[in-house]
Structures are given as C-alpha cells and as structure tokens.
Amino acid sequence: MSVNVEFAPEGQHGVVAEGTYLWDAAKRLGVRLPAECEGRGECDACAVVVKEGATLLSSLTNAERARLSPERLASGQRLACQAKVERAGTLVLQPVPQPEREQTTEETTKDIRTDFRDMTLQQKFATLAELEIIAAAQTFRAISDLSLRALGKGLDAVVGAGRARAHRQRASHRPPEHGGSARKSEGKKTTTTP
C-alpha cells in the first residue's frame, strides 16, 4: 500500500511506501530537512507540521515528547526522523521554519564561541571580567545555600530532640488505661481542691 505525500508550501509531492520515515520521504521528494543529530531524535531540526493525515503516522516516540513542547505537539509538529507512515492515505507536511526552532545548548555554545572570536581584544577582556563576576556571584550563592542548609539541619535536630522529650513527658503523664506510663500513687492519698 502506498501513501501520497505532499510538502507545503512548495508542493513537492510523490508516493512513498508504508513504513517510510517522514525524513526519508522528504529526501525522496527533494525536500531538504536539516538533521543536526543525524536522526537520533536528539535535536528538533527535522520538525515538520502535519497539516493533514496525522492518523496515518506512528505514535509519538519518547524523543518527540522530550524535544517538542506540548504547544508544538498540539500544533501538529512531529520529528521527521522519528515519525513513520503506518497507514495508506494522503499526508500534507510543512517543514518548521528554522527561526521557530528552539535553540539547542550546543547551538547556543557555538554562537557564544563565534561571538567571542569576533570580538576585539578589549571587548574580550570586558566579557571575561563580566563572566568572572557572574561566576563569583554564583559561587558565593552556592556557598551561602550550603551553610544555610547545614544550619537548618542543626536546628531541625535540636527541635526534634525537644519534641521527643516533650512527647515522652506527655506519655508519662497519661493514665495507664490510655496506654500511658503514669503510676498510681501507692498508699498516699492526695487531696484535691474542689
């Protein structure tokens, strides 16, 4: 059984066999989808919007759930390297424009490196000084968090010991019929005021 596939907005179309991944279908029809992770489901470069025929495709993979936000999934996006055509029919797909993709950490790092390389020496020094200040502030915050956590633990221990003592005291004051350990006064009569 074959599947009709069309790519919007240019309209490249053709027939592919069931079991074909959308990425391979695109390639066969001359639509170039980027594939930064080479189809391992580790980026979102190959995302496409399924405009028609979503039910012809395989279920969402864990990689798609991890890479595509709920909003993107709700708008019909799939990762072309993960989604496979499982039923015959007509599919209309549209590649997600590059600027809409969320930048990966790798891309961000690459951008920072490129920006840094293109800076003048003066700008590089200024940036390094700024980064040093940020790193120092983060280190200070981390140390403060650690000390506060240690202090909190100490206070918890003191409060816990106090509570245990109070609990023991209360238990010793309870009548034995209620499970307490208070002893009846033996041979001594206590006088109570009315």
CB of 13 to ligand FES, least distance (A): 22
Q: Which is nearer to ligand FES, 16 or 81 (CB)?
A: 81
| CA neighbor of 34 nearest in space, from 91, 85, 92, 99 | 99
Instruction: Provide the total of helices (H) and of strands (E) in the chain, helices listed first.
Output: 5, 5
How near is the Cβ of 67 to ligand FES at its closest, in Å? 6
Nearer to ligand FES, 16 or 46 (CB): 46
Instruction: For ligand FES, give the closer residue by CB, 39 or 95.
Output: 39
- How many angstroms separate the CA atoms of 18 and 33, rounded? 20
Nearest CA to 82 among 104, 56, 102, 63? 63
Q: Could you tell me whether strands 2-7 and 89-95 are parallel, antiparallel, or unpaired per DSSP bridges? A: parallel
| Site size with ligand FES, rule: CB under 6 A | 12
Which string of x and - marks every residue 26-45 that binds ligand FES (by CB under 6 A)?
---------xxx-x-xxxxx
76 touching ligand FES, by CB under 6 A: no
d(CA 16, CA 25): 6
> Rounded CA gap, 129 and 23, in Å?
45
Looking at beta carbons only, is 56 or 101 nearer to ligand FES?
Answer: 101
| In the complex, least distance from residue 63 CB atom to ligand FES, rounded to whole angstroms | 7
The binding site for ligand FES (CB under 6 A) comprises 35-37, 39, 41-46, 79, 81
